[in-house]
Chain A
């Protein structure tokens, strides 16, 4: 295993082999990240592709401080957001008065869901819910960061998150009923 800094230096020189090694090292993880933001494989792979092109063309901007994987991950997320931002504008143009309080069901358990189930559930969410849920609950962004990167208000981000969770819970409940009903 080539040390990370060595690999980065060789990529900066444009060595095709090193670029492939770097891609192979991070592509599965990063595909795992971007796959959550899109409903189709094609869109997700487009985002992955654009993201890696940015990684390689902006590699000289990586300061060497902080995790390299984290840096790549941020590029992937930003690339994904750029691709879906246009769709989101319409999604979030909903009436803010609609905000309701959602009761958190702390007793519900989700251990029985496999990774594949979860990915499928996330991918099938409406894009507006999906994006905020991914950013807040999975990546751990703050509402003000989400609001800034999506160009919406903090309140919109908060309400979308609550709606997204409620939507997911409903879907899982339905899945469980279907499963037990058989």
Chain B
């Protein structure tokens, strides 16, 4: 991709632009595979009787970093290889459970075409519209 095209992309971005929203519905298999890949043996993520009866959760807890990964994917897909994710900040505020449908999305909050920098608000939301994992990100487009 030539420099002119890259500059064109960042120049088309405006504050208020929405990042595509995506639904996630992780099941027991995905939860197990994710925690296995991490080597995370925390039982609240795969042992449902333990999660319910010992820890008192309503189901298997979705691992916090998985929600963080979905924020990254939201930005990374939107960048489409034309820019890079330079910085992300987020926090897991509300627990989520296997069986819930969760949504990722975001909004452009600032755009500086002269430096190629774009600031974003990103979120993971649950079915009731609560933001469970809010975050901010900084993306950089080269060639500016």
Q: Do A and B make up one complex?
A: no
